[in-house]
Amino acid sequence: MFPGGTPDMSQLLEQAQRLQEQLVAAQAELAEARIEGSAANGLVTATVSGTGDLVSVAIKPEACDPDDTETLGDMVVAAVRDATEQASELAAEKMGPMAGGIQSDMEGLTGGSTPELGGGTGPSGFSLPG
């Protein structure tokens, strides 16, 4: 079933332990990271965590037109999207190498490709409805 016989279970467990430690460290780093996005030349700024959670929104007074609240709403959405896209890129950067490592380890054990593991693209998501 496996090329060269049965895999060394202790080595496999050791690799899994290392990958888990790396994953936990990367997740903690992402949770602490703060990424800022903006819209309308900085009139609206949104800050998200590295995991994509909205942390804050800052709106400059000159962005507030009581007769045009729709535009303000659009600027807020654009700033949040900008920040979450950057958070997604950071997450892919931090987590992607681990996903690739898992795929390589599995290919070594199975002797073939493992497309269901995603090819190391990292986490996805962080999108807003709309």
Contact 57, 44 (CB under 8 A): yes
- Checking DSSP bridges between strand 44-49 and strand 34-39, what pairing results, if any? antiparallel
What is the tens place of the pLDDT at every residue in 4-48?
667 788 888 888 888 888 888 888 888 899 999 999 999 999 999
CATH 3.30.1310.10 fits 22-100, yes or no: yes
- Averaged over 105-123, what is the pLDDT? 45
Contact 37, 85 (CB under 8 A): yes
- Checking DSSP bridges between strand 34-39 and strand 54-59, what pairing results, if any? unpaired
Count Cβ neighbours within 10 Å for each residue of 48-58 and write b for 16 or more, e otherwise. bbbbbeeeeee
pTM of the model: 0.61
Task: Give the phi and the psi of residue 39 in degrees, each rounded to 5.
Answer: -145, 160
129 band by pLDDT with thresholds 50, 70 and 90: very low
What is the tens place of the pLDDT at every residue in 101-113?
555 554 554 445 4
